[in-house]
C-alpha cells in the first residue's frame, strides 16, 4: 500500500498537509515531523498542557490518511491494558466445551489468536492498514512501566511468550506526548525525536485564532494573541492554553465586544484563567478592576 507520507520530500509539504488537516505547524514542528517519517522514529512531544501536542497526532493521522490508535496513559497502566491479555473466560469455555480432548491439542488451541485480547500497542503493531499510534500523557505512567514501551518504540515489535515475536506489518508513525510533570527515562528519550512545543509565538497564535475562529477580525486576533502572551509572562499556577485563548476569543465575540479594552479583559478573565488566585494575581498585575461589568446594554 502506498502511503501518503511517502510523497513528502520537504518539510514544507508536511506543513501544508498538516494545515490541510487544520493544524498550523511552525517550521520546527514541520521539520521534526518530516524527520520522524523519513527516519521512522517516534516523536516525543513535550510542553505545557493545551499547546496542541495531542492535536498534532490527530492532524498527522488525518494528513497521512492513517487510522489513529490511541493509548491513554494513567497511573497504574500495565501490560494487560497496554499490550495484550488472554481472554480467560473464552479459554475456560473452550476447555469446558470439549472435555476428553488431549491436553496438548487444547493447549495449542487456547493460546492462539482467537483468545488474544488486543490492546492499543498490539493493535497498532498488527494493524493491516497503516496507523498513527498516539501514546498520550506518557509522563503519567511509572518509570518501571516505561520499559513496556521500549520494544515497541525501537523495533516496532511485540514479544508474546506463547506466540513469539510479532513484527509490525506497516510501520506506525508514533507520537508520544508528555506534560513534563516528571522527567521521562533516558532510555525512552534516546529512542525518540524530541519536540518541545512551547506556547506559540504571537504570530502563530494569531494564525491559529484566525483559522479556528474565522469570523474574528485580523486586528482583533492580533490584539488577543498579544494580550494572552503578556498574561503568560506573569508567574501563574496555570497559564492560559491555546484552547483557552480560542474560548476567550469566542466569548468576546459572543458578548459583542470588539476591542480588547481593560474593562473587557477584566470581565472575561475567568474564561482565560481557571484558578481564583491566578485571576486575582493577573488583575493586580494589569491593574484591572475585576468587579466591574462591561456588557454592552
Partner 1 sequence: MITALAEFVHELRAVGIPVSMVEAIDAAKAIEHTDLASRENLRATLGATLVKSPRHYGAFDRAFDVYFGLAPIGELGSEDGGGPGAGDGTAEGGGRGGGGSGDLLDAFVEALVSGDSGRVRSLIALAVDRHAAMQPGRPVGGRYYAYRVLRRIDTDELLARLLAALSSGSPSGEIDDRIDHERAEALVQQVRDRLEQEITGRLISDRGRSQVAGNRRLPLVEDIDLMHATRVEIEEVEAAIKPLARKLATRLGQRRRHGAKGRLDVRRTIRRSLGHGGVLLDPRFRPPRKSKPEIVILCDVSGSMATFARFTMQLTYAIAAELSKVRVFAFIDGLDEVTEFFGPDTDFADGLIRMSREADIVRRDGHSDYGSSFTEMCEKYSDAVTSRSTVIITGDARNNYRDVGLEAFAQIVDRARSTFWLNPEPRRFWDTGDSVMSQYGSICDTVDQVRSLRQLEAFVERAALRVGARPRIVN
Q: Grid coordinates in use for 237?
A: 499556577
Binding of residue 74 to partner 1 (CB under 8 A): no
Per the DSSP assignment, residues forming a β-bridge with 173 are: 132
Q: Grid coordinates in use for 20?
A: 490541510
Closer to partner 1 by CB, 134 or 269: give it: 269
Binding of residue 88 to partner 1 (CB under 8 A): yes
Binding of residue 89 to partner 1 (CB under 8 A): yes
How many angstroms separate the CA atoms of 231 and 285, rounded?
9
Q: Which residues, other chains included, contact 280 with Cβ-Cβ below 8 Å and sequence gap of 6+? A: 290
- Smallest gap, in angstroms, from Cβ of residue 250 to partner 1? 19
Binding of residue 226 to partner 1 (CB under 8 A): yes
The answer to whether the CB of 193 falls within 8 A of the CB of 36 is: yes
Residues 178-197 that bind partner 1 (CB under 8 A): 180-183, 186, 189-190, 192-196
Q: Which long-range contacts (CB under 8 A, 24 or more apart) does 222-225 make?
A: 223/259, 223/260, 224/248, 224/249, 224/252, 224/260
Binding of residue 215 to partner 1 (CB under 8 A): no
Closer to partner 1 by CB, 145 or 170: give it: 145
Identified binder of partner 1 from the candidate list 5, 11, 60, 249, rule CB under 8 A: 11
The answer to whether the CB of 115 falls within 8 A of the CB of 83 is: no
Q: From the CB of residue 102, how many other CB atoms can be counted at a distance below 10 Å?
A: 7
Closer to partner 1 by CB, 7 or 287: give it: 287
- Smallest gap, in angstroms, from Cβ of residue 41 to partner 1? 7
From the list 91, 19, 103, 96, the residue with the least C-alpha distance to 62 is 19
The answer to whether the CB of 44 falls within 8 A of the CB of 184 is: yes
Residues 102-141 that bind partner 1 (CB under 8 A): none
Binding of residue 269 to partner 1 (CB under 8 A): no
Residues of this chain that interact with partner 1 (CB under 8 A) are 10-11, 27-28, 31-32, 34-35, 38-39, 41, 44, 46-47, 88-89, 92-93, 96, 142, 144, 180-183, 186, 189-190, 192-196, 198, 223, 226-227, 229-230, 233, 235, 260-263, 265, 275-277, 280-281, 286-288
Amino acid at each position: 500500500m502506498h502511503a501518503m507520507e511517502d510523497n513528502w520530500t520537504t518539510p514544507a509539504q508536511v506543513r501544508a498537509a498538516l494545515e490541510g488537516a487544520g493544524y498550523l505547524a511552525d517550521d520546527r514542528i514541520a521539520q521534526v515531523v518530516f524527520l520522524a517519517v523519513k527516519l521512522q522514529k517516534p516523536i516525543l512531544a513535550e510542553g505545557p498542557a493545551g499547546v496542541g501536542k495531542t492535536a498534532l497526532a490527530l492532524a498527522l493521522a488525518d494528513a497521512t490518511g492513517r487510522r489513529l490508535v490511541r493509548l491513554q496513559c494513567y497511573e497504574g497502566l500495565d501490560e494487560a491494558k497496554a499490550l495484550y491479555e488472554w481472554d480467560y473466560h473464552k479459554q475456560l469455555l473452550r476447555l469446558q466445551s470439549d472435555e476428553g480432548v488431549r491436553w496438548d491439542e487444547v493447549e495449542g488451541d487456547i493460546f492462539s489468536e482467537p483468545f488474544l485480547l488486543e490492546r492499543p500497542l498490539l493493535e497498532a503493531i498488527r494493524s493491516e492498514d497503516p496507523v498513527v499510534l498516539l501514546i498520550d500523557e506518557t509522563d503519567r505512567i511509572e518509570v518501571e512501566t516505561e520499559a513496556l514501551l521500549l520494544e515497541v518504540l525501537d523495533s516496532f515489535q511485540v514479544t508474546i511468550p506463547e506466540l513469539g515475536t510479532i513484527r509490525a506489518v506497516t510501520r506506525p508513525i508514533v507520537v508520544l506526548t508528555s506534560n513534563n510533570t516528571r522527567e521521562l527515562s533516558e532510555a525512552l528519550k534516546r529512542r525518540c525525536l524530541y519536540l518541545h512545543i512551547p506556547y506559540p509565538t504571537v504570530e502563530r497564535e494569531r494564525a491559529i485564532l484566525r483559522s479556528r475562529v474565522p469570523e474574528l477580525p485580523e486586528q482583533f486576533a492580533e490584539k488577543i494573541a498579544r494580550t494572552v502572551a503578556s498574561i503568560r509572562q506573569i508567574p501563574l499556577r496555570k497559564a492560559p492554553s491555546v484552547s483557552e485563548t480560542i474560548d476567550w476569543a469566542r466569548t468576546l465575540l459572543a458578548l459583542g465586544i470588539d476591542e480588547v479594552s481593560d474593562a473587557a479583559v477584566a470581565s472575561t478573565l475567568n474564561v482565560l484563567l481557571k484558578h481564583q488566585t491566578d485571576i486575582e494575581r493577573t488583575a493586580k498585575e494589569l491593574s484591572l478592576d475585576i468587579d466591574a461589568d462591561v456588557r454592552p446594554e
